[in-house]
């Protein structure tokens, strides 16, 4: 009887460990996980729609599909927790769905009014403006969440936003060069592994891959790490910024 007191309590499996098992083919576990996270999905979708979402709503179905997509695509190497990754992905998919629905609705209203020969150009413009404002507001919320997640990952590398402000290259060309260095790093499997495992920039290995001096790499070390984290992670809007700079 006394030996029972000394039996080690079985450790509860983490969400990330459960997802890893599902990715290996455990479909039963997949169904169980999705079912248990339905309240989370409903809450996340409701936050986007600004109203209570029931399981019978189309938006909930979109969220359910997005959550399943998050399970299949999640990778701990990207730095985010599974739940934060799923939240961002669900919100993105629901925003895309609403955007498509409102565009179709606006088009139908315009055509229908035109057939009735009513004077409706102003209504159509107002409808478009409403859609655009709604889309902008939701995209701003997703961007805000991306930044929060990015900040959490930066901490794992011993970095803060203040570090980036103080250490970002001052000139546009210098920033662009640093981004190219980061792009080279994430596209090289060996360099990527070194960065993620050691949580520091593999300068010695990196300088052999780029046409940038060691001194320049060291000077922009924190900025290069930050850009690498964005490129490796699921940061839709932050990546768009980098893409815009690299294409100019």
CA 95 to mean position of chain CA atoms: 13
Q: Which residues of 24-55 are buried (b: 16+ CB within 10 A; e: fewer)?
A: eeeeebbeebeeebeeebbebbbbbbeeebee
131-189: pLDDT as tens digits? 556 556 667 777 777 888 888 888 889 998 888 888 888 888 888 889 999 999 999 99
pLDDT, mean over the chain: 79
- CA 99 remoteness from chain centre: 19
Note the pLDDT tens digit of each residue in 212-226.
Answer: 899 999 999 999 999
> Is 31 or 235 the better-scoring residue by pLDDT?
31
Q: Give, as one character, the DSSP assignment of residue 6.
A: G
pLDDT over threshold 90, residue 248: no
User: What does residue 31 show for φ and ψ, rounded to 5 degrees?
Assistant: -60, -40
Q: What is the mean pLDDT of residues 111-132?
A: 45
Residue 40: pLDDT band (50, 70, 90) is very high
DSSP string, 100-151: HHHHHHHHHHHHHHHHTT---HHHHHHHHHHHHHHHHHHHHHHHHHHHHHHH
pLDDT at residue 120 tops 50 = no
**pLDDT at 54 > cutoff 50:** yes
Question: What pLDDT, on the 0 to 100 scale, is given for residue 132?
Answer: 57
Q: Is 217 exposed, middle or buried (0-12, 13-18, 19+ CB in 10 A)?
A: buried
Q: How many Cα atoms sit within 13 Å of 212 on the Cβ side?
A: 27
- Model confidence band, residue 48 (pLDDT cutoffs 50, 70, 90): confident
Q: What percent of the chain has pLDDT over 70?
A: 78
| pLDDT the model gives residue 136 | 63
Q: For residue 176, what are the CA distances in angstroms to 172, 192, 220?
A: 6, 20, 11
**Pair of tokens at residue 198:** 């050691």
Predicted confidence (pLDDT) at residue 50 exceeds the cutoff of 80: yes
């Amino acid at each position: 009887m006394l030996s029972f007191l000394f039996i080690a309590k079985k450790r509860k499996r983490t969400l990330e460990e459960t997802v890893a098992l599902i990715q290996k083919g455990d479909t039963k576990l997949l169904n169980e996980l999705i079912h248990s996270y339905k309240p989370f999905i409903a809450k996340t979708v409701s936050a986007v729609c600004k109203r209570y979402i029931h399981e019978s709503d189309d938006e909930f179905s979109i969220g359910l599909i997005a959550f399943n997509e998050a399970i299949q695509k999640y990778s701990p190497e990207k730095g985010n927790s599974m739940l934060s990754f799923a939240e961002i992905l669900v919100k993105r998919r629901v925003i895309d769905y609403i955007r498509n629905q409102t565009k179709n609705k606006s088009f139908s209203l315009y055509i229908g009014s035109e057939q009735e020969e009513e004077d409706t150009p102003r209504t159509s413009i107002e409808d478009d403006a409403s859609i655009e404002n709604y889309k902008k507001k939701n995209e701003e919320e997703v961007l805000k969440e991306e930044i929060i997640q990015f900040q959490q990952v930066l901490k794992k590398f011993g970095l803060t936003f203040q570090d980036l402000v103080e250490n970002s290259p001052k000139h546009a060309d210098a920033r662009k060069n640093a981004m190219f260095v980061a792009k080279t790093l994430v596209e090289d499997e060996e360099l990527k592994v070194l960065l993620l495992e050691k949580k520091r920039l593999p300068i010695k290995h990196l300088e052999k891959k780029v046409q940038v001096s060691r001194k320049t790499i060291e000077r922009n070390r924190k900025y290069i790490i930050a850009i690498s984290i964005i490129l490796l992670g699921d940061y839709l809007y932050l990546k768009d910024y980098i893409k815009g700079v690299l294409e100019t």
